[in-house]
Amino acid sequence: MAKPKKNCMQPVSLPMLPLRGLMVFPQMVLHFDVGRKKSVAALEQAMLGDQRIFLVAQRDMDVDNPDIDDIFHVGTIAAIKQVLKLPGDNIRVLVEGKSRAVLRAVTQEEPYFEGALDELIPQAVPASIEVDALLRTAHTYFEEYCKMSGRVSGETMQSVLEVEEPGQLADVIAANVLTKVEDKQQILEEFDDIARLEAVCAVLVRETELAGVEKKVQARVRKQIEQNQKDYFLREQIKAIQTELGDKDATDVEDLRERLEKTPMNDEARDKASRELERLSRMAPGSPEIGVSRTYVEWLLDLPWGKTTPDNLDLKRARRVLAEDHYGLDKVKERVIEYLAVCRIKNNMKGPVLCFVGPPGVGKTSIARSIARALGRKFVQMSLGGVRDEAEIRGHRRTYIGAIPGRIITSIKQAGTMNPVFLFDEIDKMASDVRGDPASAMLEVLDSAQNNAFRDHYLEAPFDLSGVMFITTANSVDTIPRPLLDRMELIEVSGYTEEEKLNIAKRHLLPDQIKEHGLAPRSVRMSDKVLRSLIQGYTREAGVRTLQRTIGKVVRKSAVAMLDGQLETVTVTQERLEEFLGAPRYHYEKAGKKPEIGVVNGLAYTVVGGDTLQIETTTMPGTGQLELTGSLGDVMKESARAAKSFVRAHAEEFGIDPEFYKKLDIHIHVPEGAVPKDGPSAGVTMTTALVSALTGIPVRQNVAMTGEITLRGRVLPIGGLKEKLLAAHRAGIDTVLIPKENLKDLEEVPENVRSAMKIVPAEDVHTVLETALCEKPALRPKAEPLAGTLPAMPEGQQMLHA
């Protein structure tokens, strides 16, 4: 803003009237309505004086009671020409702008504003060639603007072009061209006439360009509207003709078109649907392609574009729901609570991809339903067991007759929301053949960096799966391809302990079976002792499926007893349990009390939990052959050879004849012979059995062990420690040797099991032998090897697994 010279300013004191959304320039005549009390008072005071008033614009037109900070400091002194009272205490006033003024201070605020002003005395601009050129330029720019925009009438344009004074011309153009109060105020605050007119010329150039662009945009929009109206008119005519001919397909196309306009799908899907609808509308009635095209468009429209279920982020409620449905499974519940906590902090959290790995029947599938209930989401499930065709995942291409989308898109449509809990059951059971590899197709689905644009072969349009919470289940990760496994967060769900099964039976299984069979609550009663006998004698599993079926059988037998004896309740005793179910099917092998030579208690980890595994070793005169029986796998055979090599290398240290490998045949047998066994964790057990058989030193039968052995005698860590210790606890073993590196896994073992037995961490074989053998081998003279046979293991022994 150019500062006015002091000799051009004249101090005055006048009433002030703040204007909202309005600006008055010098030489400008206009009328406006006044309604605020202070404004009316200022107007009345001006009428009592020389009928001059200071008009100044507000910075914010929404402020009803402005103060000094809410108004600009440069305004216009105007002369009041006419005042007209309107109904409702409003006044219409006609004013003429006279001169610019600067507000120095507000001298009065009540009952009206009065300000101390510096009034600018207009000075004539000397004529010159530059001034004439500037005036001509301004006239030309204004005329171009009027022609381009069409907003200024011909009379107004002519009157403006007749103005020859630079300052007045700038003010008149600004009043007719500018629309924003801020832009007008910027021109008003420029006191130098030449500079003001130059600024207005720059504004005219900008506004002319904008008017040209607006004209093009309006022409394009008008043409589009005309085309749409034409298309609509033609479609209505075609629709009327086809309706007269009895063709219902035309009506269907219009219905689909209306649904398409309301469906918030992405641009690519909308484009494909529009083109298919256009193609469908041009098909001849009765064409076989009509059904194919309509089905495709309906699939696109039926998907839940933009529909989501709001998550219930109440952590206390989620904990309560998960606890109601399942006992245990603490790792799974903790991960769900973590996800909910993060969602409360970050709204656009991507759905996790979880993989629950564990034996059958431990609740992997049912906990997924509980997670959906805890989150407040829809639940869909897809079983991958035996899936061989990639089209099951991605769908068939539309070139095939009878093509449909894959089961993922089908399930999303079934859920009706874009963020369900999606369970892929038995992901480790997928297979591949000539029809493709479904595991490879799952890579895109379960990759959070790619699944926001999942493409089904049938739809051929991206669909966002990033909001879906994917959960997969597996019994083993061995058969899952490594790239697919890398995309999932593994959560191990181990088998239940006997104490956990007891609580599950009391809290869930027994009440559920009573309700399922239509009996009154608590009409069948079983004590903890009877339930424990049922678990031990009639089930052998890591989960609780067999336990559920067995309890159901007991409830049915109880229902028969209630009807036969006219009873309201049945209490199942130990005797009645055997009456209902027969003699117990399983007996857990209890460890022998008397030390034996060449017999060592090993620990096995099977798909149904842990169990004890007796390894028997005997020697006989021969040529040094090693005989291995018991359906042993390659890894277990290698463990036996490694054990023999270790003993041979340390024969003198153990008091064994160094030439034993030439004179004696060694036979290692692992009952039961019909059950396949494999894994490296029996290495220390075979080594101990060999040393005992070759030295004649008995092995304590209250000791069990597990661990992989190396040729240097180191004991390496193993898996399934929790299940193995539970099996040792059931067998009455009070001392267990484990690899030292497995100490970190003890926190997963129940406290009652840890406190009931002595756990010895072993770093090498020497620690194992010192604990398991009744004597130290080095302190005993060489004894003749003993041979013998021992009873076989109980039925049900499963594969030994590391």
Alpha-carbon distance of 168 to 172, in angstroms, equals 6
Q: Check pLDDT > 60 for residue 527.
A: yes
Which residue shows structure tokens 């495709």?
Answer: 296
Alpha-carbon distance of 163 to 200, in angstroms, equals 14
What tens digit of pLDDT does each residue of 653-691 get? 888 888 888 889 999 999 877 778 888 888 999 999 999
Q: Could you say which of 333, 364, 644, 724 is catalytic?
A: 724
The pLDDT value recorded for residue 779 is: 41
The pLDDT value recorded for residue 145 is: 78
What tens digit of pLDDT does each residue of 250-270 get? 557 778 888 888 888 888 988
Q: Check pLDDT > 50 for residue 715.
A: yes
| Segment (H or E) for 98 | strand 90-108
The pLDDT value recorded for residue 157 is: 77
The pLDDT value recorded for residue 741 is: 92
What tens digit of pLDDT does each residue of 689-700 get? 999 999 989 999
Spatial neighbors of 470 by CB under 8 A, at least 6 apart, are 351, 352, 353, 354, 422, 424, 445, 446
Share above pLDDT 90 across residues of the chain, in percent, rounded to a whole number: 17
Q: Check pLDDT > 80 for residue 272.
A: yes
What would the mean pLDDT of 13-33 be, rounded to a whole number?
A: 86
The pLDDT value recorded for residue 698 is: 92
The pLDDT value recorded for residue 551 is: 93
What would the mean pLDDT of 409-433 be, rounded to a whole number?
A: 88
What tens digit of pLDDT does each residue of 176-193 get? 777 778 878 877 888 887
Q: Check pLDDT > 70 for residue 504.
A: yes
Q: Ranked by mean pLDDT, which of 227-231, 404-408, 688-692 comes out on top? A: 688-692
What tens digit of pLDDT does each residue of 53-110 get? 888 888 888 888 888 888 888 888 889 888 888 887 788 889 888 888 888 888 888 8
What would the mean pLDDT of 737-765 be, rounded to a whole number?
A: 89
What tens digit of pLDDT does each residue of 358-394 get? 888 888 888 888 888 888 889 999 988 878 888 888 8
Confidence band, pLDDT 50/70/90 cuts, at residue 499: confident
Q: Check pLDDT > 50 for residue 196.
A: yes
Establish whether 724 is a catalytic residue. yes
What tens digit of pLDDT does each residue of 784-801 get? 444 443 333 333 333 344
| Segment (H or E) for 639 | helix 634-649
Q: Check pLDDT > 90 for residue 297.
A: no
What tens digit of pLDDT does each residue of 239-252 get? 676 666 555 555 57
Confidence band, pLDDT 50/70/90 cuts, at residue 51: confident
Q: Ranked by mean pLDDT, which of 135-144, 360-369, 546-555 comes out on top? A: 546-555
Q: Which of 522, 747, 719, 526 is nearest to 607 (CA)?
A: 719
What would the mean pLDDT of 390-409 be, rounded to a whole number?
A: 85
Sign of CA dihedral 318, 320, 324, 328: positive
More confident residue, 627 or 291: 627
Alpha-carbon distance of 728 to 748, in angstroms, equals 15
Sign of CA dihedral 561, 567, 570, 575: negative
* Encoded amino acid at 488, one letter: M
Q: Could you say which of 681, 722, 740, 758 is catalytic?
A: 681
Alpha-carbon distance of 715 to 736, in angstroms, equals 14
The pLDDT value recorded for residue 607 is: 62
Alpha-carbon distance of 393 to 645, in angstroms, equals 51
Q: Which residues pair with 99 in a beta bridge?
A: 77
The pLDDT value recorded for residue 294 is: 85
The pLDDT value recorded for residue 239 is: 66
370: exposed, middle or buried (Cβ count in 10 Å: 0-12, 13-18, 19+): buried
Alpha-carbon distance of 527 to 315, in angstroms, equals 35
More confident residue, 794 or 402: 402
Instruction: Confirm if 558 and 512 have CB atoms less than 8 A apart.
Output: no
DSSP state, residue 63: -
The pLDDT value recorded for residue 642 is: 92
Instruction: Confirm if 762 and 731 have CB atoms less than 8 A apart.
Output: no
What would the mean pLDDT of 409-431 be, rounded to a whole number?
A: 89
Establish whether 681 is a catalytic residue. yes
Using CA atoms, how far residue 18 sits from 24, 49, 69, 118, 665, in Å, is 11, 19, 12, 17, 115
What are the tokens at 609? 């939990």
Between strands 664-669 and 626-629, the pairing is: parallel
More confident residue, 380 or 38: 380
Q: How far is CA 308 from the centre of its chain?
A: 12
The pLDDT value recorded for residue 163 is: 76
Confidence band, pLDDT 50/70/90 cuts, at residue 645: very high
What would the mean pLDDT of 3-31 be, rounded to a whole number?
A: 79
What would the mean pLDDT of 470-485 be, rounded to a whole number?
A: 87
Average pLDDT, the chain: 83
The pLDDT value recorded for residue 614 is: 87
Alpha-carbon distance of 173 to 157, in angstroms, equals 9
Confidence band, pLDDT 50/70/90 cuts, at residue 156: confident
DSSP-based three-state secondary structure for 191: coil
Q: Which of 612, 634, 625 is nearest to 792 (CA)?
A: 612
Share above pLDDT 70 across residues of the chain, in percent, rounded to a whole number: 92
Q: Which residues pair with 602 in a beta bridge?
A: 613, 705
Which residue shows structure tokens 């003024």?
Answer: 101
Task: Flag the least confident range among 117-121, 614-618, 626-630, 797-801.
Answer: 797-801
Q: Check pLDDT > 70 for residue 490.
A: yes
More confident residue, 211 or 650: 650
Q: Check pLDDT > 50 for residue 159.
A: yes
* Helix pair angle (154-161, 129-149), 10° resolution: 170
